[in-house]
Amino acid sequence: MSLTVCKFGGSSLADGNNIQRVADIVENDPGRRFVVVSAPGKRYSGDIKVTDLLYECYKECGQKGNCSESFAKIRKRFRSIVEELGMETFDIGSILDETEKQIEKNKSADFAASRGEYLNARIVAAKLGRTFVDAKDIIFFDANGQFDEKKSYPLIAEALADCQGAVIPGFYGTDINGKIKTFSRGGSDISGSIIARAVNADLYENWTDVSGFLACDPRIVNNPQKIETISFKELRELSYMGANVLHADSIFPVRKGDIPIKIKNTFRPEDAGTLILPSKKYVKSGNIVTGIAGKKDFTVIYLEKSMMNSEIGFARKVLSVLEKDGICFEHMPSGIDTLSLVIESRYFSESTLEELIEQLKEAVKPDYIHALENIALVATVGHGMASNIGTSARLFNALSEANINIRMIDQGSSEINIIVGIDNADYERCVRAIYREFFE
C-alpha cells in the first residue's frame, strides 16, 4: 500500500460540512495516513478567514491587554464547526478557553495566527479518530528563521514511525527560543511538503478548491486548458510568476525527495487533478508550452557603459548597492556594454528610486542610466520549447500581430522559459496572444 500525505487548504475546511467532506476523502483511501490542515478559510464571499480574525486578536491584546472581543468570533466559528459535525462529546469549550489564555499570555502575532491551524487540527483529528501531533514538537526553525531540516526531519520521522494515522497542523513550528514561528501566508503547503519528505511518502496530495493547474489565469482567458502533468521545474517557474495554486516554496522539500505532488479538488474529488513530477520522471507530451503566467508592476533599471565586459567586478558592484539597500532583483539580462536590473516596484517610492540611481552612478559610473517603470513580466514555460525550432519566433510574431511592444526579453539557461517585459497596460492582451498561439 502506498503512503500518501494529504494537505487540505482553508476553503476545504471552512465549515463542518466541508470537514465532513475531507473526512470522507481521507477514509476512502487507507494510504492517506498523515493529514496536514490549514485554518478555516472563507465560507462565502465577504467572509473573513480565521487567520485574519486571529491577527485581530493579537492587535486587541496589544491595545487592551486581552482579546475577549475578537476571540468571541473565533469561539463562535469553531463551536459552529463542532456542532455541524455532530461532535457532542468533543470538549471544544475547554480547548478554546486555554487558547484564548495562551494568546493573551504570549502576546505574539505568530502564536496568535498559528491557532487557526492548531484548533482545526484538534477537531479533524478527533473527527477521524487519529492522533493529533503538534507541529511545534516536530518542525523547527534555525537562528536565521529558516526551516531547520537537519533537526526537524528525524523528529518527524520518529514521531510518526509507529503512528497508523495522524493529523498535523500546518503553517507553524518552533524557533530557537522555543517560541511559535509561522511560515509565510499559505505556509501550510510547506508543512505538508515537509511531512511528506520526512516520512518518505510515495505521494503528496494538496487538496484545494480547484481541479489542478490551468494553462493560464482564467480571469484573463475564458476556460483555459487544464494541465494534466507538469514537472517541478515548470511548476517552480509558473508559481514564482504568479500561478498561485501552490505555495512556491512548498516544492523544495518534496523535490529533494523525488516525491510527486497531486493537486486535487476537495469539492470534485473525482476530477483527475494535476500531477507534478520530478524532472527525471517527467516525459513531455502534447503542447510545446505547458503554461503562461505573469505579474505586473516592475521597474527596469538600464545601465550602459563602454567596455563593461572587461571591467572586473562591474556586476558585483551593482549588486552590492542592491544588497546594501535590502533590494532583491528578479532578473539581470545583460549585453557586452549593457546591463538591466528588473526589480519589483514595491521597493520604490519616487525618492528611493532616485536615491538608488545616484548610488549606482557613484558605484559604477555608467555612461547612461535610465529607469523604466510600470512594466509587467510574462513567462511562457514548457520543457518542449527547448527542442522545438521556431518557438521564440512564434511567440514574438504573436505579440507583434497583437501590436504589443516588447521592452525586455530574458530566457533562462534551462531553455524552459521565455520572459518578456511589456507595459502594464498590455499585460492581459499579451497573455491572450500567447495563449491563442500555443493553445488554440
C-alpha dist (Å) from residue 109 to 104, 113, 172, 180, 260 = 11, 6, 12, 9, 34
Q: How far is CA 129 from CA 132, 220, 237, 405, in A?
A: 9, 44, 39, 59
End-of-domain residue from the set 209, 236, 268 = 209
Query: CA gyration radius for the chain?
Result: 24
353 part of a folded domain: yes
Task: Find the domain containing 418 and state its range.
Answer: 291-439
Which residue would you say has higher pLDDT here, 414 or 165? 165
> Is 8 contained in some domain?
yes
Q: Which residue, 168, 190, 209, sits at the end of a domain?
A: 209
Residue 180 CA to residue 420 CA, distance in Å, equals 41
Residue 133 CA to residue 113 CA, distance in Å, equals 18
Asked if residue 115 lies in contact with residue 54, where contact means CB atoms within 8 angstroms, the answer is yes
Question: Which of 371, 391, 370 lies closest to 381, judged by CA?
Answer: 391
The residues pairing with 417 across neighbouring beta strands, listed in sequence order, are 381
**Does residue 302 lie within any of the structural domains?**
yes
The CA–CA distances, whole Å, from 132 to 37, 70, 112, 117, 136 equal: 11, 26, 19, 12, 12
CATH for 184: 3.40.1160.10
Residue 244 grid cell: 498561485
Does 70 or 212 have the greater pLDDT score? 70
Instruction: Give the orientation angle of helix 50-64 with respect to helix 92-106, to 10 degrees.
Output: 50
Q: Name the phi and psi angles at 339, rounded to 5.
A: -150, 135
Cα 439 to Cα 231: distance, rounded to the nearest angstrom: 19
Say yes or no: 188 and 315 in one domain: no
Residue 393 within a domain: yes
Instruction: Give the model confidence (pLDDT) of 285-343 as tens digits.
Output: 678 899 999 999 999 999 999 998 888 999 999 999 999 999 999 889 888 999 999 99
CATH of the domain at 330: 3.30.2130.10
Q: Which three cell numbers stand for residue 118?
A: 492548531
User: Does residue 215 belong to any structural domain of this protein?
Assistant: no
Question: How many Cα neighbours within 13 Å face the side chain of 430?
Answer: 25
Using CA atoms, how far apart are residues 169 and 114, in angstroms rounded to an integer?
Answer: 9
Number of separate domains in the chain: 2
* Residue 169 falls inside a structural domain: yes
H helix and E strand count, the chain = 13, 15
Q: Quick one: cell of 331? A: 532578473
Region 416-431 average pLDDT: 95
Are 188 and 66 part of one and the same domain?
A: yes
Say if residue 413's pLDDT is above 70: no
pLDDT tens-digit readout, 172-199: 999 999 999 999 888 899 999 999 999 9
**H or E segment to which residue 267 belongs:** none
Does the pLDDT of residue 414 top 70, yes or no? Answer: no
Cell numbers at 408, concatenated: 525586455
* Segment 29-58 mean pLDDT: 95
190 and 300 belong to one structural domain:
no
What are the helix (H) ranges across 210-334? 232-240, 251-256, 314-324
Cell (9 digits) for 48 = 473573513
CA-to-CA separations, 201 to 63, 79, 178, 339, in angstroms, rounded: 45, 34, 28, 44
| Segment 158-173, tens digit of pLDDT | 999 989 999 999 999 9
Q: Specify whether 301 is located in the same domain as 177.
A: no
Q: Which residue, of 177, 209, 241, is where some domain finishes?
A: 209
- The mean per-residue pLDDT over the stretch 26-37 comes to 96
| Mean pLDDT, all residues of the chain | 92
pLDDT of 387 reads 75
Instruction: Say if CB 182 and CB 110 are below 8 A apart.
Output: yes
In a domain, 428, yes or no: yes
For residue 241, being part of any structural domain is answered with no
Per 3-state DSSP, the chain is made up of helix, strand and coil in percentages (nearest 5) of 45, 20, 35
pLDDT at 386 over 90: no
Mean pLDDT of 375-399: 90
Does residue 381 contact residue 237 with C-beta atoms inside 8 Å?
Answer: yes
Whether residues 306 and 193 share a domain: the answer is: no
In this prediction the pTM is 0.85
